[in-house]
Chain A
Amino acid sequence: MRSMEPPKSMEARRAMTRYLLKVLLVVSVLYLFPLALVRTEFYAHRSLSYYSRPLNYAFQTPVKDADVLLFGDSTVLLGVDPSQMSSDLGVTVLNLPNTRGSLMVNDDLPLRRYLSHNRPPKLIVFYLAPWDFDYGHTPFEAIPVFEGEEVLAAQGTFKEITAFAVKHPADAALFSLRFYADSWEFLMHKVSHAGQEETLASTHGHIENTDPSVLASPCTFPPLLLDNIRFEWVKALGERYASPQTKVLYFVAPVPSCTNVSVLLNHRYDALPAALPVVMPPETFVREIRYIHPHPDAVPKITRTLTESVRSALAPAAK
């Protein structure tokens, strides 16, 4: 057992203390840096995460008093062009972009924030992948949630951020570390944000999927997706927003015609109530783990399908 090992002198002791403090300072600065950075204008335009710009757009959209609000996951962000709907319907259509990860963190915060500054829309469309309708009941470990935390850190009020930290203390504590890990991953994969901001502005909340790959045929939905088709969370959300001025439409995103698509279709979508998802050829989707992000070429067709549903939903109100 060592009790009085060198360095013994007071000077050496001070040197050790200074060293320890400097190590702690380095760690603290690196830890706190992202917390300050994410709220800057610079970061809003320079963030490395792929969805940061559309997620920020949901809070900063210049589109006022939209008649139709789209609110959903990345399937609507990548698959629907609100500007095309606007010209087809003759009303203002706006998408408030989200992803599965951002919904899990922020839930309907972008919608609440928008409605607090604008008049109620005629219609809110909840548009999600079949396995995302119960996002509020999914554990955080299952899905990368950094993009949601990032937009909350950037756009949330002190109260909103504190509420999240109280509810998810471990996730809040890990935010800075995820900032570095995720940024590094995006850097390594050379993710490009080119043109995103312009497209968001011109389409009112849509970005183009830059992934050129095509889902291989035949495809099979993994059980991980099929086992999570439930609707409670978004159904309750829609019921909260429905009012005499505002109608609510639930829309299930189109799905690829994989070999086991019958399992997917064999659910009670009418309980939402919603129509069965449109089944499209696998090659109209890109090849990635979500199975449901449409290829850019399919966007006009998917948008037209949604437009028709919206037209029907708006029709009685028009009378």
Chain B
Amino acid sequence: MLFNSYQFIFLFLPVALAGYEAASRVHYRAVVLWLGFISLVFYGWWQPSLLILLVGSITLNYLAAALISRRIPNRIRPGTWLFAAIVLNLLVLGYYKYFIPTANFFSTSFGLSKHWADVVLPLGISFFTFTQIAFLVDLTKGSAEQESFPDYLLFVTFFPHLIAGPILHHREMMPQFKLKRLGLNLSDVTIGGTWFVLGLAKKVLIADTFAGTVFAVFHSRDRLPASVAWVGALAYTIQLYFDFSGYSDMALGLARMFSIDFPLNFNSPAKSASIIEVWQRWHMTLGRYIFTYIYNPVTRWVSERRRRQGKGISRRERAMPRAFLAVVAMPLMLTMFLAGIWHGAGLQFMVFGLLHGVYLCINNAWRQFYRPPASAREKSSGFGARIKKAATIGSVFCCMVISLVFFRADSVAHAASILAAMFGLWAKSGPGAADWMSIINMHRALPEVLLGLAIMWGLPNTQQILTKFKPSLQKTAWNQEGVSRLLLWSPSTGWALAVGLLFFMVLVELQQPSTFLYFQF
């Protein structure tokens, strides 16, 4: 079921909230059961048969957890059970997400006639698989506890995060599920509902506006003029940005309506002044996941190996190029390679990941090897500093736009052709810029892109707007620098009018709902 559909807004959500309230009056455990049940309904709405996979995955992982924690007595080492469970999870994921596209890729590459029929990719399979692997890893390390099955089922399936994240950590969620419920909390419903509407507006009123332009540019097989290629790439960046940002807002808002706090997942990454910062602000829970469960273990392994070889790992020693390559660059490239293919089976996703690996290596190397002079560090305010900051943010954003061309293109070659067009490397052929103006409706696309960029850079994000009401698990108040007081949400008449109007505009636009881009991952 889509968050941006009438069925969800007018049927599913009211029933879920009413059931939550009713269950809380019966017993607090009934709330867990109700939320688990309604989440399965949510997942099965589109294709009920996929519930078998979801419930099967949860049951097997729960069984693995019981074996690891020895709740089911056995003599096999927990690490062995963990290894087996991870392999099984990855096999299932690999079958649905990678096997058939890869087989078809090789079939096409080697000119074979065999074409494997596509299977339906179960929604959110990456999300629920990696959530469960993390739980098993932590259980093996002793930093998690075996939970009751209803708690575990709810942790994995809770509908606001089930399809496209945020990727939850059991340490954040389990304690919340164990507290006694007191039913619906009016302020949580209000704040969560407002957040949901703001996210819905981002998705429906902003992101979806760019779909036509993006489709026209990325489905063209002609050689594009540079201006059109840039408009297409920027339009896709804005579309993806607000699509995922809107989805994250909706997920966090929905959870808040049930008085459950999620971790932040999106924090204005376009305002980042470095690629490292981008990954701290874009799909934050995925970044946290891959750095916790891939990058850090690999770095530890490399460091340990170097220590055994008698090589140093101190900060000073890491500043040597060879050490930097071993301790920082190699783990980063591996991590980002995996982050790339996490998004899909195409080579273009791999290139996307590796490109970000290169970006991050350069960024880390810059920090490691370049020390700005003290005088430059002191001049961190004033007009010049602001220009410098804007230029830095702009160049980081350009790096994002370039990488996202791989994210959207059908293949590496297609992405390369669009990038070549963006940098004016194509000889002029096919429709001219003037023809393209009409093909993609440029007189409308360009102002839309400029408006999208203005919103991205000029307005506060939703957690800043809602900051007075602690909108997420993160404890610290969000950075309020430059945020007008008028834009800080409060239950005032002005905000009621604005939110009511936005909600109604969304309802008008929802007549043909579109899916979320991150559902495919």
Contact = CB atoms under 8 A, between A and B. Distances in A.
A29 B177 CA distance: 39
A1 B260 contact: yes
26 contacts: A1-B176, A1-B177, A2-B185, A3-B181, A3-B259, A4-B182, A5-B185, A5-B469, A6-B187, A6-B469, A17-B186, A18-B491, A19-B495, A19-B496, A23-B496, A23-B499, A23-B500, A23-B503, A25-B500, A26-B496, A27-B500, A27-B503, A30-B500, A30-B504, A177-B511, A181-B511
A18 B190 CA distance: 10
Contact of B187 (A7, A177, A181): A7
A242 interface: no
B489 to A, nearest CB: 10
The 9 tightest CB contacts between A and B, nearest first, are: A26-B500, A22-B496, A19-B491, A1-B179, A1-B176, A23-B500, A15-B491, A180-B508, A16-B190
Contacts of A31: 504
A174 B349 CA distance: 40
Nearest to B182: A3
A24 B188 contact: no
B501 interface: yes
Interface in B467-494: 469-470, 491-493
Interface in B175-205: 175-182, 185-190, 193
Q: Chain B contact residues: over half helix, strand or loop, or mixed?
A: helix
A100 interface: no
A48 to B, nearest CB: 14
B509 interface: yes
Contacts of B185: 2-5
B507 interface: yes
A178 B193 CA distance: 24
The bracket for how many chain A residues form the interface is 20 to 34
Contact of A174 (B493, B497, B511): B511
Given A19-B491, A19-B492, A23-B500, A12 B507 contact: no
A85 B357 CA distance: 77
Interface in A128-175: 174
Contact of A181 (B178, B470, B508): B508
A5 B470 contact: yes
B260 to A, nearest CB: 6
B504 A27 contact: yes
B208 interface: no
Given A19-B496, A23-B499, A1 B491 contact: no
Most B Cβ at <10 Å: residue of A22, A25, A27, A184: A22
A13 interface: yes
A211 B261 CA distance: 56
A20 interface: yes
Nearest to B10: A173
A23 B176 CA distance: 29
A179 B178 CA distance: 47
Nearest to B175: A1
B511 A178 contact: yes
Interface string B259-281: 11100000000000000000000
Contacts of A5: 185, 187-188, 259, 469-470
A25 to B, nearest CB: 7
Contacts of B177: 1
B507 A177 contact: yes
Nearest to B173: A1
Given A1-B179, A5-B259, 4 more contacts: A1-B176, A15-B491, A20-B186, A23-B500
Contacts of A184: 508
A20 B190 contact: yes
Nearest to A1: B179
Nearest to A16: B190
Contacts of B182: 3-4
Given A19-B496, A22-B497, A30-B504, A2 B491 contact: no
B79 to A, nearest CB: 33
Contacts of A17: 186
Given A13-B187, A20-B190, A27-B503, A2 B259 contact: yes
A89 B496 CA distance: 63
Contacts of B492: 19
Contacts of A6: 187, 469
B494 to A, nearest CB: 10
B186 A13 contact: yes
A265 B510 CA distance: 40
A22 B508 contact: no
Contacts of B187: 5-7, 12-13, 16
Interface in A29-56: 30-31
Nearest to A179: B508
